[in-house]
Structure 1
Amino acid sequence: MEFPYEIKDVDPELNAQLLKDFTGERTGFLQVGPKKYFLPSKYREQGPEIFNFKVRPDDVFIATYPRSGTTLTQEMLWLLVNDLDYETDSQIPLVSRAHFIEFGILVHDGLKAEILELVKDDPERVKDVHEFAANRVPVLDATPSPRVIKTHLPFSLLPPDLLKTAKTVYIARNPKDMAVSFYYHNRLLRTQGYVGDFPAYWEYFEKDLLPWCPFWEHIKEAWELRNEENLLFLFFEDLVKDLAGSVKKISEFLGKKLTPDQLDRLVSHLQIDNFRKNPSTNLDAENMPGTRVTGEQDFIRKGKNGSWKEELFTPELIERADKWIVEKIADIPGFAFPE
């Protein structure tokens, strides 16, 4: 199918500033379609492939704006789909069990070359780098069913037949908590390599100049599809508040039945203190030289509601953010984040 959206380069002057603040990208940023979804340069070549990706009926997708409970739900879905195979779970990193379909757009060729230089004397690590930076569409095409697939793309940029073919869980999160988590994430990973402060980061967020923005359009697209049979729309706040209830709801959505003991074990496995220590989910198992910035916070952070109150927000920024959130939510009929 022909890709239906125009892909434009960001204004050169703005792009120059973005490249100074987000050092993982080396070429420039793009805006896609009428909603101007903001993505790195490699989306130009891989975006149409993702749009035309062949979805299978037994696929399960986890779709979110970043830092909205994605990894927790990704791990939960993989275990549910694979009959609670904790042995394989412990042996293979989550990123290799449940592929991130657009991850290839995040690894710029310049960054890849730097990492290859670091590991050039180790053939196995060289192989790992090439796999790490690869376009995930061919990888997923060759992956046997059942597949659990992660994405941060909005529904309009995903295969048009997705919800007619396979089940998808979408998680939404309050933008203040999300932005704090995404800020630290962007500082941790060199694929983003953010070097600015939080007020400047929030400015980019409000102006829809962070990857996968606009945030509100992303949520709005999912919210308008929430009654589709193959979509389960959940809130991160509810996921954290009632993890056992959320696991039951998701397992029922997938047609999986859990005994009380199975439910207890899965909830314990996903509980944040255990989850944070799990090398398979906290990226320890793929801690390739050159991909992390030392001294930054871990991939799995606090995993709780309201942590933004303890971090980064000044009174002035809280007032500004609250006003912006109220204005934006008014444009999404019936939508509200849980208290």
Structure 2
Amino acid sequence: MKTLSGHTITRYEGEELETFKKEFPCDLQHNGFIRLKPGNWTVPTHFDKFADEIYQFKFRENDTVVCSCPKAGTTWVQEIIWTMKNNPNLDNPDAKLSQGHRLPYFEMDAHIGTEGPLFDALLSEIESSPGEVKEKEGLFLNTINKFPSPRIIKTHLPITLLPPDTLDCTKFVYVARNPYDVCISGYHYCRLHKDCYYAGTFDQFAQRFMEGNIVHYPFWEHVYSAWKMQNHCNLHFIFYEDLKQDPFKEIEKLNEFLETGLTNEQLKNVVKVTSFSDMKNRGVVAFGVVESPEHMNMEQKEKEGGFLRKGIVGDWKDSRYQETIDKMKIWVIDKMKDMEIPFKYEIN
């Protein structure tokens, strides 16, 4: 099968599919992921049904798209931008709504299709969203079209899989995080959520991560596709580590890029209400995350933390991960020969 974007679609099969099922023993993943070439992108289970609709989607000129690899800080930056645009004085009652009501996820249809317990749970979350969209086929893309402007839309798809005029139409914010912390955070996320329910070891997960056999990867190509366009007037590149180290400074930069015109006092409000501790206390989770026993391993959540687990830089230094991290270091050194992306691996 070939998409309108010119990519060829293949599915996992044979021994690869059987290995995948052992590591991801979840009904939602029973067909394995999908690969797109060129690029060797790994994309969500139902991407083939929505690839052309995604490629032809029409963004609006006042949209803001927040993009990153999974677990690189997308939810955090979305919350920051929504607060900047809608709640800089901390008096908007909509701030209490879930991100599903405020911040749509572009390729959600490709993740969950049109049926199943996760679909039903997310349907109930958006039933009172703008437009009261009820159709199951393409539900989430249709919901995005009903959202009032200005929209803040999240995606984990690389720029190369988005509509070709995306940078011409939108303000595009790309969030990057060092690969060690992304990998560890992704491993915990996939073990925590029963809709992934990863059953392999961290070493196995890291091998998948390095090979690009995790949804929305390969990692380096994803980051580099944005990094090489960093000078585009509509693209703002932000590092998770810089945002952790000096949130006010980075939010100031966003204020200039987004032309939101906030005062210093308003910027301080944004910093405060989008801190890790504040968001954790408010129970902020990304759209698509359901914190219930049906969808989440509550015992693991209690033991190791939930969706907002640590929010730190340098979790990779934990001794539990060192043997695998040492292997990853060789991979990072090799990749960085061709991509001089200034990642930070720890901060003061």
TM more than 0.5: yes
Change in CA separation of 1:132 and 1:215 when aligned onto 2, cut-off 3 Å: farther
Deviation at 1:41, TM superposition (A): 2.5
C-alpha offsets along residues 11-51 of structure 1, whole Å, 9 cap, x if unaligned?
Answer: 42101211221223122221012111112320001122111
1:172–1:234: 8 Å Cα contact kept in structure 2? yes
Corresponding residue number in structure 1 for 2:131: none
Change in CA separation of 1:260 and 1:212 when aligned onto 2, cut-off 3 Å: same
C-alpha offsets along residues 42-83 of structure 1, whole Å, 9 cap, x if unaligned?
Answer: 000112211111010000010000111111100011122225
Deviation at 1:283, TM superposition (A): 7.1
**One-letter code aligned to 1:80:** M
In structure 2, C-alpha distance between the alignment counterparts of 1:231 and 1:260, rounded to whole Å: 23
Corresponding residue number in structure 2 for 1:59: 63
Q: How does 1:187-198 map to 2 (within 5 A)?
A: 187-198=191-202
In structure 1, C-alpha distance between the alignment counterparts of 2:9 and 2:146, rounded to whole Å: 28
C-alpha offsets along residues 81-107 of structure 1, whole Å, 9 cap, x if unaligned?
Answer: 225365334331112201011122222
Q: Does 1:106 align with 2:114?
A: no
**One-letter code aligned to 2:343:** F
1:31–1:39: 8 Å Cα contact kept in structure 2? yes
In structure 2, C-alpha distance between the alignment counterparts of 1:285 and 1:328, rounded to whole Å: 32
Residue 139 of structure 1 is aligned with which of 143, 163, 177?
143
In structure 2, C-alpha distance between the alignment counterparts of 1:134 and 1:93, rounded to whole Å: 21
Change in CA separation of 1:126 and 1:322 when aligned onto 2, cut-off 3 Å: closer
- Partner of 2:194, secondary structure, is coil
Q: Which moved more, 1:279-288 or 1:167-176?
A: 279-288
Q: Does 1:304 align with 2:315?
A: no
Change in CA separation of 1:127 and 1:217 when aligned onto 2, cut-off 3 Å: same
Corresponding residue number in structure 1 for 2:241: 237
Q: Does 1:76 align with 2:84?
A: no
Change in CA separation of 1:62 and 1:10 when aligned onto 2, cut-off 3 Å: same
**One-letter code aligned to 1:229:** C
2:72–2:182: 8 Å Cα contact kept in structure 1? yes
- Partner of 1:7, secondary structure, is strand
In structure 2, C-alpha distance between the alignment counterparts of 1:15 and 1:252, rounded to whole Å: 47
Question: RMSD in angstroms over aligned alpha carbons?
Answer: 2.7
Corresponding residue number in structure 2 for 1:264: 268
1:64–1:151: 8 Å Cα contact kept in structure 2? yes
In structure 2, C-alpha distance between the alignment counterparts of 1:177 and 1:322, rounded to whole Å: 12
**One-letter code aligned to 2:308:** I
Q: How does 1:220-231 map to 2 (within 5 A)?
A: 220-231=224-235
Q: Does 1:4 align with 2:6?
A: yes
Change in CA separation of 1:44 and 1:255 when aligned onto 2, cut-off 3 Å: same
Deviation at 1:286, TM superposition (A): 4.9
In structure 2, C-alpha distance between the alignment counterparts of 1:6 and 1:285, rounded to whole Å: 30
Unmatched segments (≥5 aa) in structure 1: none
Q: How does 1:1-339 map to 2 (within 5 A)?
A: 2-22=4-24, 23=26, 24-84=28-88, 86-107=91-112, 112-113=116-117, 135-281=139-285, 286-287=290-291, 290-296=294-300, 297-310=305-318, 312-314=320-322, 316-332=323-339, 334-338=340-344
Change in CA separation of 1:242 and 1:89 when aligned onto 2, cut-off 3 Å: farther
- Partner of 1:31, secondary structure, is strand
Q: TM-score w.r.t. structure 2 length?
A: 0.87
Aligned identity (percent) is 29
Q: TM-score w.r.t. structure 1 length?
A: 0.89
C-alpha offsets along residues 274-317 of structure 1, whole Å, 9 cap, x if unaligned?
Answer: 12111244779953562222222300111111012126313x32
2:4–2:55: 8 Å Cα contact kept in structure 1? no
Change in CA separation of 1:261 and 1:6 when aligned onto 2, cut-off 3 Å: same
- Partner of 1:313, secondary structure, is helix
In structure 2, C-alpha distance between the alignment counterparts of 1:74 and 1:126, rounded to whole Å: 18
